[in-house]
Structure 1
């Protein structure tokens, strides 16, 4: 009875000690530089379908294919599987493990004794080998915490990779359509100049124009013509980028000849005071990296204390005639206590390393928060400014169109100056190309808003297409 009480007390003490865990208990930072933050990650409901608001079938198809075929995304997904496999393996270390073994041995002259000359012994051992590292001071628990945080970190990076991929595909699609539009503008201006040239040529033949006027028109014509290959190269470059993102070989991507850029039917709205940081997977990933680094301090600190492991065997040891019977049963228990007393300097150094890495992770997390907040604000401001530019340029283009029509009519009637027509043609080309650039820029910056907010913004119905910062 005394032995039973002693054994029970020992087991209770081991269980109690194994409930301890050295090192700091992790707490998610809720204040950075005096400002309250909430980085509890939540994937936005619209994160995986926000681009459908553009109602562009081609863009929808491209993104669907990219999410299925992109190799970087597949790599990120495989990294999640690997990280969780490591976590499960680490978590299992806290529990007893064992193996069923069967070994056979045949020996001649088992000793140096002359009596054993020519003696052959045979036998085998079979049974269950068990081992258990008793987690006295929480080393394995902290290691499990760290592995789980790293697995969550990998999962969040996968979510962020999806956000970035969608943004890249949408941006490249906008660049493709924008290059097509600029190419179309240039080709249309070439046609307009050809019409003007025909008029000048006719007036020259009638003695009402000069060779200088024709030469000046040709200068402008060939200047535009020389820019056409540049626009074609931009189309090819965007197409190449899209092909790579969709894991397609060169020439496999077939896109229609539509030259208009996608536009929203209604604008986006950002609520002032809303916690958009929770939609940023990169911020949440940095927080999980901090959690893993904090748990690693406990792993290193546990080496300051003794560690206890227990090994055991339960099975049979065979007799020389290879028979198994009750008398051949065998068991063993082998507790082992070890303590790195002679290497405490190295242990303390590893603890300092772990603490320094935790400070690095904290600084990285805080910087990620600042980067995210400024990224979101910059994307909003940039989009609004681009919309202002686009609206002004649309008015400029309309004015240029009216000026060109009047200059051409006056020149045809013989009451206008050729230089006025030439200037009007040049202004029309400049405003048309500038408008195409700004349409592309506005679309790309709108995509940047969705990316920077993790898809966590909404659409509202308003009278214009600007981005609204609304109060709660």
Structure 2
């Protein structure tokens, strides 16, 4: 009865001590300056389909294939599996460990006694070896917390890898179509300049134009021709980038020759009162890193206190006859109490390191919040200004096109001078090329909105 009471008291004491965990308990930040961030991370519902609002079959196909084939995304997914495996391994350390072993041993002159001279002894052992670290001060539990936070961080980074991949594919697709469009514009302008050159030649033969006028039109013609290789290089670059993102060889995309930059049929909108920070994977990742670093303070602090572990054996030990029965049954229990009392200076240094790492993680998290807020606002403002620029550039191109028609008609009729026609055509070329640049810019900035808002922006 007395032994039972002692064992019960010991069990209660061990359970009470094991319920303790030294080090600070983590509390997720709810506010940075005047920015509230108390909403937990959430994967945006639009993350996997926002690009479908463009109604572009080629873009849909590219992104769908990239999500399956991209190797960086596959590595990020494997990293999640690895991180959770590490967490499960650490979590299992809270439980007793054991192994089944069977062994054979032979020795001669096992002792220095004279009676053992020339004596050969043999024996067999078979049973279970058990071990258990009681984790009195929560070192294992803090390690489990740290690995759990790191596994969650890996999962969040996998989501972020998808956001980045989708954005990269969409941006590269815009660059591909933009290069196609600028190349087409250059080719159309070359045709117009060839027509103007033919007119100048005809007038030159009729004595109504000069060699200077022919030289001036040829200068402009060669200037446009010199721009064509640059557009082809941009097209090849975008093709190579897309091919790499889809894990395939360059030149096999077959996107078609019709240049068309995707546009939304509905504008984007920011919902008043919505906390878009919860869609930002980089912010959530920084928060999980802070949680892991906080738990590591407890891991280091636990070394200030003793560690109690128990080792044991349960099985059979027999001689050469290999008899396994009640007479050969064996067991052993070996509790061990260890304490780094002679190295507390190093332990305290590790605690300070862990505290400093936690402070670094907190500062990085707070900076990430400010970066995210400013990036989202900049993305919205840049897109709105780009749309204004695009509308103005479209009007400029239309006016330039009309000016060329008037100047060409006057020149053909002999009532207009050649320099006016030349200036009008030069302005038309510049405005049409600028329009292609701004159209691509507007598309890329729209993609930037979705990326900066973690896919959480909505259409209205």
Instruction: Provide the residue aligned with 1:168 in structure 2.
Output: 168
Does the CA-based 8 Å contact 1:125-1:318 persist in structure 2? yes
Does the CA-based 8 Å contact 1:122-1:322 persist in structure 2? no
Instruction: Provide the residue aligned with 1:467 in structure 2.
Output: none
1:28 aligns with 2:43: no
Deviation per residue, 1:137-183 (Å, 9 max, x gap): 11111110000000001111111010001000000000010011000
Mapped partners of 2:35, 2:175: distance in 1: 38
Mapped partners of 2:368, 2:51: distance in 1: 26
Deviation per residue, 1:60-104 (Å, 9 max, x gap): 111111111111111111111111010000000011010000011
Instruction: Provide the residue aligned with 1:125 in structure 2.
Output: 125
Q: Where in structure 2 are the equivalents of 1:317-466 lying within 5 Å?
A: 317-460=317-460
Mapped partners of 1:423, 1:250: distance in 2: 40
Mapped partners of 1:174, 1:52: distance in 2: 15
Which segments of 5 or more consecutive residues in structure 1 lack a partner in the other structure? 461-472
Instruction: Provide the residue aligned with 1:178 in structure 2.
Output: 178
Does the CA-based 8 Å contact 1:179-1:234 persist in structure 2? yes
Mapped partners of 2:302, 2:112: distance in 1: 46
3-state SS in 2 of match to 1:98: strand
Does the CA-based 8 Å contact 1:122-1:321 persist in structure 2? no
Instruction: Provide the residue aligned with 1:104 in structure 2.
Output: 104
Instruction: Provide the residue aligned with 1:225 in structure 2.
Output: 225
Q: Where in structure 2 are the equivalents of 1:6-85 lying within 5 Å?
A: 6-85=6-85
Mapped partners of 1:132, 1:21: distance in 2: 17
1:39 positional shift: 4.5
RMSD over aligned CA atoms reads: 1.0
1:437 positional shift: 0.1
**Comparing 451-460 with 107-116, which one deviates more in the overlay?**
107-116
Number of paired residues?
Answer: 460
Does the CA-based 8 Å contact 1:39-1:284 persist in structure 2? no
Mapped partners of 1:354, 1:254: distance in 2: 53
Mapped partners of 1:335, 1:177: distance in 2: 72
Instruction: Provide the residue aligned with 1:463 in structure 2.
Output: none
Mapped partners of 2:35, 2:250: distance in 1: 50
Instruction: Provide the residue aligned with 2:259 in structure 1.
Output: 259
3-state SS in 2 of match to 1:42: coil
1:248 aligns with 2:243: no
3-state SS in 1 of match to 2:270: strand
Which segments of 5 or more consecutive residues in structure 2 lack a partner in the other structure? none
Mapped partners of 1:56, 1:121: distance in 2: 83
Mapped partners of 2:360, 2:149: distance in 1: 16
Mapped partners of 2:357, 2:8: distance in 1: 41
Mapped partners of 2:45, 2:278: distance in 1: 12
Does the CA-based 8 Å contact 1:104-1:125 persist in structure 2? yes
Mapped partners of 1:304, 1:116: distance in 2: 47
Mapped partners of 1:374, 1:282: distance in 2: 14
Instruction: Provide the residue aligned with 1:116 in structure 2.
Output: 116
3-state SS in 2 of match to 1:45: coil
Does the CA-based 8 Å contact 2:99-2:130 persist in structure 1? yes
Instruction: Provide the residue aligned with 1:270 in structure 2.
Output: 270
Mapped partners of 2:299, 2:107: distance in 1: 45
1:115 positional shift: 2.4
3-state SS in 1 of match to 2:25: coil
Deviation per residue, 1:244-271 (Å, 9 max, x gap): 1111123333221120101111111112
Instruction: Provide the residue aligned with 2:90 in structure 1.
Output: 90
Deviation per residue, 1:274-293 (Å, 9 max, x gap): 10000001110000000000
Does the CA-based 8 Å contact 1:95-1:132 persist in structure 2? yes
Mapped partners of 1:250, 1:435: distance in 2: 28
Mapped partners of 1:34, 1:125: distance in 2: 68
Runs of 4+ in 1 over 6 A off after TM superposition: none
Does the CA-based 8 Å contact 2:37-2:278 persist in structure 1? no
Mapped partners of 1:87, 1:37: distance in 2: 27
1:341 positional shift: 1.1
